[in-house]
Amino acid sequence: MYERILVAVDGSSVSDRALNEAVKLAKLSGGELRVVTIVDSPLRHLPDYAVYYNPEPLREAALKAADDVLGKARQIVGDQVKASFDRVCQERASEEIAERIEVEAEAAKADLIVMGTHGRRGVRRLMLGSVAEGLLRVSNRPVLLVRDK
């Protein structure tokens, strides 16, 4: 069964639902969780002409938001299973979030990745992209996607 489960969270309701499913799996298997939230590089979203912009306030706000997400995840998990909680900073602007999740799963020797997906379709998915879809394309291990109700 799954001994090491990586769970990617972002603070959304579907992310919370995925975390709850991961807790259930860890309880059944006696496994442990590694809960991560990815802090995206602020430079990645700035236009080229913003070379004099100081991204530090934006980065600090993102780090604070990530800490809040992990705090919420700690409350959900409680003492139900063994778990670690990590804020992962994505510094390379060229790296996609899905790729970073896979890197973290590899480092944790995860048997399974669990994450939520909003299940967007059509133009909305094309416009917003899909971290879940990207993860399915790059992952070398099983991925459990949990949809919102």
Residue 17 belongs to a domain? yes
Q: For 144, which DSSP code? A: E
**pLDDT computed for residue 128 by the predictor:** 41
**pLDDT computed for residue 118 by the predictor:** 78
Residue 121 belongs to a domain? yes
pTM: 0.87
Residue by residue, DSSP assigns 20-89 as HHHHHHHHHHT-EEEEEEEE--GGGGS-TT-TT---HHHHHHHHHHHHHHHHHHHHHHTTSS-EEEEEEE
| 78-127 pLDDT per residue, tens | 999 999 999 998 766 667 889 999 999 999 999 999 999 875 554 444 43
Average pLDDT, the chain: 86
CATH code of 81's domain = 3.40.50.620
Greater model confidence, 9 or 129:
9
Residue 86 belongs to a domain? yes
Residue 133 belongs to a domain? yes
Of 60, 11, 66, whose CA–CA distance to 38 is shortest?
Answer: 66
| 64-77 pLDDT per residue, tens | 999 999 999 999 99
The domain containing residue 48 runs over which residues? 9-147
**pLDDT computed for residue 86 by the predictor:** 96
Give the whole-angstrom CA distance, residue 147 versus residue 68: 22
Number of folded domains that form the chain: 1
Residue 3 belongs to a domain? no
**pLDDT computed for residue 49 by the predictor:** 63
